[in-house]
Amino acid sequence: MAEERKWLCAKCGVELKPRKTIFKYMGRNISHDVPVCPKCGKVFIPRDLAEGRMAEVEEQLEDK
Ligand SMILES: [Zn+2]
């Protein structure tokens, strides 16, 4: 994953750092790198992840 995007926390104005975060999706616990604000700890879920890529994650799980 060489792709780097800069995300800024709208509240703190600091750069978000990608962090492995576990969240629930469709009754499963999904582990994924999402941008997290190092200052206030807010987790940002990019829209493309929420709308599109989650389907890929789901497919990967279905394989097992
Ligand atoms: Zn913040």
For residue 31, the CA-to-ligand 1 centroid distance in Å is 21
For residue 35, the CA-to-ligand 1 centroid distance in Å is 11
pLDDT for residue 3: 60
Q: Which domain holds residue 57?
A: 17-63
In a domain, 3, yes or no: no
In a domain, 7, yes or no: no
In a domain, 35, yes or no: yes
pLDDT for residue 26: 77
pLDDT for residue 40: 95
In a domain, 58, yes or no: yes
Count CB-CB contacts under 10 A for residue 52.
10
Span 12-56, pLDDT tens digits: 999 999 888 887 777 888 788 888 999 999 888 767 666 766 566
In a domain, 11, yes or no: no
Question: What domain count does the chain have?
Answer: 1
In a domain, 39, yes or no: yes
Question: Which contacts of 37-46 are long-range, i.e. CB under 8 A and separated by 24 or more positions?
Answer: 37/9, 37/11, 37/12, 38/14, 39/9, 39/12, 39/14, 40/9, 40/11, 40/12, 42/9, 42/11, 44/7, 44/9, 44/16, 46/7
For residue 8, the CA-to-ligand 1 centroid distance in Å is 8
For residue 34, the CA-to-ligand 1 centroid distance in Å is 14
pLDDT for residue 58: 62
For residue 16, the CA-to-ligand 1 centroid distance in Å is 8
Element (H, E) at 33: strand 28-36
